[in-house]
Amino acid sequence: MMRRDGEAISLEEIKNASVALLTRMQMAGLSEVKVAGDQAHYWKVFPSEIFSPSEPSPVKGGVSDDLGDLRKEMEQRDSAYSLGSFWHALNHLSGILSVLAAKDLAGDFDETLDQMDSDVFEVSPSTGTDRGVS
């Protein structure tokens, strides 16, 4: 749905971009990402405060909590904690994605990327899948 004062966000485009990104990470040799110690918890702003005109209060998030809640929501589709509560699932997913972004920014994936095959891959914008290109 398009807001009067903004841009519409295509869920299909976000889905394709997500699939393409995660596929590229897998192609780079990442099958899992270890998160431990000081990376297991992070700061974030609660979703209801991200557009606040006043300064929001950061809250502590945790990867274990994020994964646990997402798993529970995917398993219990008919409960109050199902994926039907979009904000809750998206909030936990965004926490996990933020941790992955921080780890990449810190260089945690550099060795894996250096070992990645030198083939060039093209991502199909319509499907989010990678096709090998010589």
Can you tell me which residue has the tokens 């250096």?
Answer: 114
CA–CA gap between residue 125 and residue 53 (Å, rounded): 36
**pLDDT score of 39 more than 80:** yes
Question: What's the rounded mean pLDDT across residues 52-74?
Answer: 92
Can you tell me which residue has the tokens 């010589």?
Answer: 134
Question: What's the rounded mean pLDDT across residues 23-27?
Answer: 93
Give me the chain's average pLDDT, please. 82
Question: With contact defined as beta carbons under 8 Å apart, do 65 and 94 qualify?
Answer: no
Q: Where are the alpha helices (DSSP H) in the chain?
A: 11-27, 63-75, 86-105, 110-115
- pTM (2 d.p.): 0.74
Instruction: Give 80's contacts (C-beta < 8 A, 6+ positions apart).
Output: none
Identify the DSSP state of 13. H
Pull the structure tokens for residue 88.
């809750």
Q: Residues 47, 53, 55, 58: what is their CA dihedral angle, to the nearest 10 degrees?
A: 0
Question: With contact defined as beta carbons under 8 Å apart, do 95 and 42 qualify?
Answer: yes
Range with lowest mean pLDDT among 26-30, 44-48, 71-75, 83-87? 83-87
Please count the CA atoms within 13 angstroms of the CA of 104 that sit on its side-chain side. Answer: 13
CA–CA gap between residue 45 and residue 48 (Å, rounded): 8
